[in-house]
């Protein structure tokens, strides 16, 4: 008997259909895995269940009863608990207070309502014992480890009598022993007749812990399978496989046998360990793609190369010469450009018109003493900006228009212009088409291709497999902060990339 049912759920956002007629159900006492690539719609589904999004159409029934308007509170009332990847415990409260957040037990003391500490601690102790967390309930959450915090969240779900627990990549930051312990807890929850929706990219653990799996792709429902009768590697083809239109377009950059790469990265490791021992090389005029799951360390690696974040080791060579890069200024001076993932946070200036935006790095490069000297050349800077708005066909009322008033695609073009104006040679694009509409996307690909043809060297990090396959000459795959595969465009397929990006053992 299905406890939770979602029938024909569709979720539309302006310009995107995040979920298209997706159905999903959950029985009590089972682990139902949600599987899919980046952007397949898993998070959207979870957000609908948690009451953050209201679906455009479709119906949800819980325990046979239709639930029309699920709000965050309604979700909790329906005994649904969610354990997010970014844990939501309050660090400066005790374990017990976290478990009873918003419903602390009280008693009367001299006519005043106070927290009933004895009851609070005794009650939370009970749940902690149940899941095997040996901690005093009065311990502050800031003093316990991440896996223990996760267990506190599970205990919290138990003490709110949750029937459905959603776990979003619960093992992504756990060690092997902690993962084993987590599985033990999940087995225990199953025995207690709790249904678990489990999101993970680690295929082997899906086999180990899951009962059924539902696969989503591009917001569409693919299949629901019993896990006992399938092999892990059978899952990968289901997660991918689109129409052939995403084949490589343009002329592939052929590499001569004796050609030397123009840009080489050796043994790059970031101080925070988000990427380790990265080695790769790019040839002049080539577009090198970086594939991988979100959080695999691709952007982190690029930030390290660009000097925006600290690296603990690693060398970068340009045309055989070793570069010294301590910050983005050094990178910029030596011809490296980076178009960042989040335009709003790290891309443009809300107080600058287009021409100033484009001139910022150029004037910095021309100036001396680390960028403290030099005069603003308004006239020539405006001319340069006008040249680029024409060249990249930026839709604007003129170079005096504020960048933040432009559409996402045109903002991106302004940022690309900024780096073209500096005359950079190595371009790092981090998710260059994020939040950009389809038409502008193909314009950005065309710009990148023509830049490559003009002799620029291009690195492109992307979580959209089709655009990597259609734009890149070669594709490097990241997994857990390390390189796990390199493919030429003629041999690269979604399946090969996906197999390299996820854990198979």
Partner 1 sequence: MTKEKFQSFWNKFGTLCILIVLFIAFSIGSPKFFPQPANLIQCLLQSTVYILLAFGEFFAILLGGIDLSVGAVACFSGIIVADLSLKGVSPVVCLIVGLLGAVLFGFINGVLINALDLHPFVVTLGTNTIYRGICLVMTGGNPLFNLPKWVKGLSAYIVGIPKPVIYVAVIGIILVAFTTKTVAGRNLYALGGNKQSAWYSGINTKKYTVLAHILSSLLAGIGGIVMLARVGAAEPTAGAGYETYAIAACIIGGASLFGGKGRIWGVILGGITIGTINNGLNIMNVSAFWQKIVMGSLIIASVALEKLISNKVRK
Residues that bind partner 1 (CB under 8 A): 306, 308, 327-329, 331-333, 338, 340, 345-352, 356, 360-361, 363-367, 370-376, 418
Rounded to whole angstroms, the Cα distance separating 350 from 281 reads 36
H or E segment to which residue 226 belongs: strand 220-226
Rounded to whole angstroms, the Cα distance separating 322 from 305 reads 12
Rounded to whole angstroms, the Cα distance separating 439 from 444 reads 9
- Rounded to 5 degrees, what angle do the CA atoms 73, 78, 83 make? 70
114, 81 in Cβ contact below 8 A? no
Beta-ladder partners of 216? 221
Rounded to whole angstroms, the Cα distance separating 171 from 181 reads 10
Token representation of residue 470? 């259609």
Give the end-to-end CA distance of the chain in Å, rounded to a whole number. Answer: 33
Rounded to whole angstroms, the Cα distance separating 65 from 287 reads 53
130, 188 in Cβ contact below 8 A? yes
* CA trace torsion 382, 383, 387, 389 (10° rounding): 20
Rounded to whole angstroms, the Cα distance separating 332 from 306 reads 8
H or E segment to which residue 115 belongs: strand 112-115
136, 148 in Cβ contact below 8 A? no
Q: Rounded to 5 degrees, what are φ and ψ at 325?
A: -125, 115
Token representation of residue 95? 């374990």
Rounded to whole angstroms, the Cα distance separating 287 from 451 reads 10
Residue among 92 and 373 whose Cβ is closer to partner 1: 373
Token representation of residue 129? 């014992």
Rounded to whole angstroms, the Cα distance separating 467 from 475 reads 11
User: HSE (CB half, 13 Å, CA atoms) of 261?
Assistant: 15
Rounded to whole angstroms, the Cα distance separating 182 from 288 reads 39
Of 244, 343, 342, 240, the closest CA to residue 293 belongs to 240
């Amino acid at each position: 008997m299905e406890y939770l049912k979602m029938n024909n759920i569709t979720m539309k956002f302006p310009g995107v259909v995040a979920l298209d007629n997706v159905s999903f159900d959950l029985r009590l006492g089972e682990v139902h895995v949600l599987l899919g690539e980046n952007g397949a719609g898993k998070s959207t589904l979870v957000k609908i269940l948690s009451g953050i999004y209201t679906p455009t159409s479709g119906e949800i029934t819980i325990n046979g009863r239709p639930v029309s308007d699920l709000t965050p509170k309604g979700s909790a009332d329906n005994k649904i608990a969610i354990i997010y990847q970014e844990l939501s415990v309050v660090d400066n409260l005790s374990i017990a207070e976290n478990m009873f957040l918003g419903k602390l037990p009280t008693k009367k003391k001299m006519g005043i309502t106070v927290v009933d500490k004895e009851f609070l601690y005794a009650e939370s102790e009970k749940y902690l014992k149940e899941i095997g967390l040996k901690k005093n309930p009065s311990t502050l959450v800031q003093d316990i480890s991440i896996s223990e915090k996760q267990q506190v969240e599970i205990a919290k779900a138990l003490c709110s009598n949750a029937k459905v627990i959603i776990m979003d990549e619960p093992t992504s930051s756990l060690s092997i022993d902690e993962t084993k312990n987590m599985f033990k807890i999940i087995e225990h929850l199953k025995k207690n007749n709790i249904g678990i929706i489990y999101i993970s990219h680690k295929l082997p653990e899906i086999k180990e812990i899951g009962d059924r799996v539902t696969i989503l792709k591009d917001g569409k429902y693919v299949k629901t399978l019993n896990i006992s009768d399938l092999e892990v590697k059978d899952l990968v083809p289901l997660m991918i496989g689109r129409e052939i239109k995403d084949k490589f377009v343009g002329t592939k950059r052929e590499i001569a046998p004796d050609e030397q790469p123009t840009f080489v990265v050796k043994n790059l490791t970031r101080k925070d360990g988000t990427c380790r021992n990265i080695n790769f090389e790019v040839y002049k005029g080539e577009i090198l793609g970086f594939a991988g799951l979100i959080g695999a360390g691709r952007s982190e690696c690029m930030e390290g190369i660009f000097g925006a974040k600290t690296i603990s080791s690693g060398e970068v060579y340009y045309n055989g010469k070793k570069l010294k890069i301590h910050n983005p200024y050094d990178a910029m001076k030596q011809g490296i450009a980076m178009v960042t993932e989040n335009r709003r946070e790290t891309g443009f200036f809300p107080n600058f018109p287009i021409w100033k935006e484009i001139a910022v790095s150029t004037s910095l490069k021309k100036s001396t003493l680390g960028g403290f000297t030099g005069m603003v050349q308004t006239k020539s800077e405006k001319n340069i900006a006008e040249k680029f708005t024409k060249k990249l066909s930026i839709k604007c009322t003129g170079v005096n228009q504020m960048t933040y008033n432009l559409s996402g695609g045109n903002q991106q073009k302004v940022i690309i212009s900024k780096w073209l104006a500096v005359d950079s040679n190595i371009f790092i694009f981090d998710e260059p088409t994020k939040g950009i509409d389809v038409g502008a996307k193909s314009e950005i690909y065309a710009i990148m291709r023509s830049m490559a043809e003009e002799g620029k060297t291009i690195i492109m990090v992307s979580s959209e497999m089709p655009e990597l396959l259609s734009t890149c000459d070669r594709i490097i795959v990241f997994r857990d902060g390390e390189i796990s595969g390199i493919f030429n465009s003629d041999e690269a397929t979604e399946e090969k990339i996906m197999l390299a990006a996820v854990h198979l053992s």
